[in-house]
A and B are shown apart, each in its own frame.
Chain A
Amino acid sequence: MSNTAMVEKYRSNFLKEVAENVEEGEWVRMCMQCGVCSGSCPMGPHWEHPPQELFMMIRANKREEVLSSSSMWMCTSCYNCIARCPRELPITHIMHGLAHYAKRLGLAPKENPTNKFSQRFWDNLTKTGRVNELKLGLSLYFMNGFVEGIKTALKMKDVGMGMLKTGRMNPLEILGGHGVKDKSGFQAMLKKAQELEAARVDK
């Protein structure tokens, strides 16, 4: 809090930053603060700051508080808010945009489960171009430590056996698993996309 006193409140610096850098961020200024999004959100009560409040914080120039918030990571993409917003703001997209922007700046809350899952999903996917479900599942079991992982695995063993028997899970996937045909081409493509994005952000 000590450094927020230095920040000029209700200046539109951060609003402009969001408009320029966050996906659909230019819509934030159009919010009329009716609160329909917050009221429509099935996860609403669990958010630190519901969407409409986040928008007001952006306008009040609360950069640190917004970007380090876990709020936008709570969004489950149910699209209730978008369907209901009288001002037709693409709220779901703005939430993901904000989360993405916070993550890119390294301000996203490290221990947030959605953040952690998203990182694992990304790492898993980008390796072969296909999601390795066995590995992703296991990495989630052990996300919160070894003992926790064993406990979860034991709890889930009947489900796992069932999946094995019915051919829904291939244990050999643990050895590397399947991937896209042109793996290096896929990775080159990702690299290029990241370069393009970095160039856009630096601009």
Chain B
Amino acid sequence: MAAVKKIGAYICKGCGLDDRLDCGQLETVATREGKASPCKSHDFLCSQAGVDMIAEDIKSEELTHVVIAACSRRAKTEAFNFETVAISRANLREGVIWVRPDTDEARETTQEMADDYVRMACAEAKFTTQPPGNTEDKTACRHLLVVGGGITGMTAALEAAKAGYAATIVEKSAQLGGVVGQLSKRIATTAPFTELPDNGVAAMAAEIAANDKITVHLNSTVTRTSGAPGRFAADISTESGSTVTENFGAIVQASGFKPYDMGQLSEFNPDNADVVDQMGLEALVKEANGGAIKRPSDGKEIRSVAFIQCAGQRSQKEGHLSYCSGHCCQTSIKQAMYFKQLDSDIDAVVMFTDLRTPGAGGENFYRAGQDSGVTFTKSVASEISAGDSGPKVKFDDLLLNENVEQEFDLVVLATGMVPNSGVDIEAEAAAPAEGEAADSDVVASVPVESILNLDYRQGADVPQLVHGFTDSHFICFPYETRRTGIYTAGPVRRPMDAVQAMDDAAGAAMKAIQAIENANLGRAAHPRSGDLSYPLFRKEGCTQCKRCTVECPFGAINEDEDRYPEFNEERCRRCGTCMGACPVRVISFDNYSIDTVGQALKAVDIPDEFDEKPRTLVLACENDAYPALDMAAMNRVEYSAFTRIIPVRCLGSVNTIWLTDALNSGYDGIILMGCKKGEEYQCHFVKGSEIAHIRMSKIDDTLQQLNLETERVEVYEIAITDVERAPKLINDMAETIEKIGMSPFKF
């Protein structure tokens, strides 16, 4: 960090900016008000010549800050990438000329808009410093901890080893392999889809044993995990009680699943020895060892078998799993093929309501099952009772519209997957004192042991998303849990089959390696990948209110012995939710702080009350709302010229002081644009938008104290696709202001 701040401003005349705006005036604003020197215009700033000009100045003038007044900060990021200086961008293209009509009447307000954006960018630059990145000599531990030795964990360890990273597998049981290890054969995934491959566990275990980068702890669990990416420490305890502590750079949690307890399905006669679940059948097949498969009750050779799909799952009944476990249809097809390949005269009936065979080979595998003579019937089984020759299934054939009762030698229930995700920390936090009524959710009501035993202030395991699965967003950020450096893979993350679990393992291992390397360089992980800033904390001002530690969506902040927040920057995702939470404003980032936004919004020229030129401040989430507004501009959707937009990292980083400052400065309206929150959330920082909405629900009091109308502040959920809606909301606010009048706080 250079001692003296020196700001250079560069104004682009390209993309029609020069035709629509008085660039000379912009230069004047930057020099006089923004104190930028040098300040230059260029006809085509993002061209090689323009970029070279800036690079030259940075060197010769020893610039520390560069203001680029051109297009949106989301455009031309490769061109305007000067690593040694702090950069702020004035959005004159998407933010001004593209959203305003090219008419003589509009010219004045359009110019005012541009002037303000230049002022704001200069103000932001003044209060920004380029984060230094990792200045200490950190050598992150390049060693992965893999919790769980099933097919997912084994794959993760092998993939990590292939990439040159050491891995340690901690497996609770006495051997590697997990659930897949108990399977006789696996689902066929290659043509002709009739050859069922071996489970492959033995070969993988041998590969692991031969790999000197992989260490295996059997009969062991992780009894304590502390630290952060690059410097995790884990206690690995064996059954016998001995404990070793080792350091790891990142963690892959592949703790897998338990089959749903078929004992809960009383209508299916679970006590009948000839009613088994899919794992039960695997055991029978293994026992038969290639010979005739015999039923458990009397050892009779099985000549007819029924498979009941969706047993206790995809059902809203209490105690059932509401979701589809994804693999059971193909597993049942495979298991029916066990019988058909043994003897094509054995009757195998699969009763399904919706046959789902995901994956590239899925449909072909279904055909292979049909071709081998398995009968598929769209039926709902309602009851199993003891028949004369075997369990009697009562079912509705939905295609023939008939109620049928038929006896089979064996009935197999396709029950679902229950993730081994450890303690539900959110339920635990919300749960009433011990001894009171337990949660009705089956998954949560079963007493569980923690998987990771994290010593994080926020709980012993990673947070769960839905139904006990540990993802943080199935579509947008798979593997990413809400604990940086800890990645979950396989059925603990979402229901899946072995092929998907192996893909998952590779993905999570790669993410874990990335986390290690990021930690080494002091860079943020997803979604602000590569961000070198981290929360700076002024301890003297802290009142120990704990809001930051509680609200951090990623559990990055612990508490030290004196009850002050203890920031683990490697765990931090740089969303700024802590900064937004802090009532005394002692948390900031080098390049994003109360001042960078606060001073930018104060830099805006507020015309006096009688000018009839109101000002609306929009704080827009940089991940969804800001791109939506950029796209609106690309489509030339016009919005009010009285709008001044400032992107924020996350709505969660919005500190209420900004709103107070804005209202005090004379803004007439404020719009906060965050992401979709709640169950189907789209927030990149998971909880940021939700937290902001809660905070802003209390803003009305402040407004009333200031004797202002509550309509002046609005909070919206904006999706990236809200290209028409976002500008409309801005215009709605302009109309509202016209109705309720200007703010009285203009000086």
Contact = CB atoms under 8 A, between A and B. Distances in A.
Interface of A: 8-12, 15-16, 29-30, 32-33, 52-53, 56-57, 59-60, 87
A15 B399 CA distance: 17
B400 interface: yes
Contacts of A29: 370-371, 373, 375
A10 B346 CA distance: 12
Given A29-B370, A33-B399, A59-B375, A9 B404 contact: yes
Nearest to A55: B399
Contacts of A32: 355, 366, 370, 376
23 contacts: A8-B406, A10-B306, A10-B375, A10-B377, A10-B404, A11-B347, A12-B347, A12-B373, A12-B375, A15-B375, A16-B373, A29-B373, A32-B366, A32-B370, A32-B376, A33-B399, A52-B399, A53-B399, A53-B400, A56-B377, A59-B375, A60-B397, A87-B367
Contacts of A53: 399-400
Contacts of A10: 306, 347, 349, 375, 377, 404, 406
B40 interface: no
B746 interface: no
B404 to A, nearest CB: 6
A8 B397 CA distance: 15
Given A12-B375, A60-B377, 8 more contacts: A9-B404, A11-B347, A29-B373, A30-B367, A30-B370, A30-B371, A33-B399, A53-B399
Contact of A33 (B349, B378, B406): B378
A29 B367 CA distance: 9
Interface string B397-423: 101100010100000000000000000
Contacts of A8: 406
B399 A56 contact: yes
Contacts of B664: none
A33 B399 CA distance: 8
Nearest to A60: B400
A50 B378 CA distance: 16
Interface string B642-671: 000000000000000000000000000000
A94 to B, nearest CB: 15
A10 B400 CA distance: 12
Given A10-B406, A29-B370, A56 B400 contact: yes
Contacts of B366: 32
Query: Which 3 A-B residue pairings sit nearest by Cβ, starting from the closest?
Result: A56-B399, A59-B375, A9-B406
Interface of B: 304, 306, 347, 349, 355, 366-367, 370-371, 373, 375-378, 397, 399-400, 404, 406
Contacts of B371: 29-30
A52 B398 CA distance: 13
A60 B401 CA distance: 12
Contacts of A30: 367, 370-371
A151 B486 CA distance: 89
A33 to B, nearest CB: 6
Contacts of B349: 10
Given A9-B404, A10-B404, A10-B406, A15 B367 contact: no
Q: In this complex, which of A8, A10, A32, A56 has the most chain B Cβ atoms within 10 angstroms of its Cβ?
A: A10
Nearest to A26: B371
Contacts of B370: 29-30, 32
Contacts of B347: 10-12
B401 to A, nearest CB: 9
A131 B373 CA distance: 43
A87 B404 CA distance: 28
Nearest to B379: A10
A35 B292 CA distance: 37
Nearest to B351: A10
A59 B377 contact: yes
Contacts of B406: 8-10
A33 B377 CA distance: 9
Nearest to A52: B399
Contacts of A9: 404, 406
B181 to A, nearest CB: 33
Contacts of A87: 367
Contacts of A60: 377, 397, 400, 404
Nearest to A29: B370
Contacts of A56: 377, 397, 399-400
B373 A11 contact: no
Contacts of B306: 10
A14 B355 CA distance: 24
A72 B574 CA distance: 69
A60 B375 CA distance: 8
A87 B370 CA distance: 12
Contacts of B367: 30, 87
A151 to B, nearest CB: 41
Contacts of B377: 10, 56, 59-60
Contacts of A15: 373, 375
A113 B304 CA distance: 41
B104 to A, nearest CB: 62
Nearest to A57: B400
B332 to A, nearest CB: 15
B249 to A, nearest CB: 49
Contacts of A16: 373
A8 B371 CA distance: 22
A157 B202 CA distance: 85
A11 B400 contact: no
Contacts of B400: 53, 56-57, 60
A12 B371 CA distance: 13
A12 to B, nearest CB: 5
Q: In this complex, which of B373, B399, B406 has the most chain A Cβ atoms within 10 angstroms of its Cβ?
A: B399
Contacts of B404: 9-10, 60
B340 to A, nearest CB: 10
A8 B388 CA distance: 14
Nearest to B367: A30
Nearest to B378: A33
B42 to A, nearest CB: 60
B304 A11 contact: yes
Nearest to B406: A9
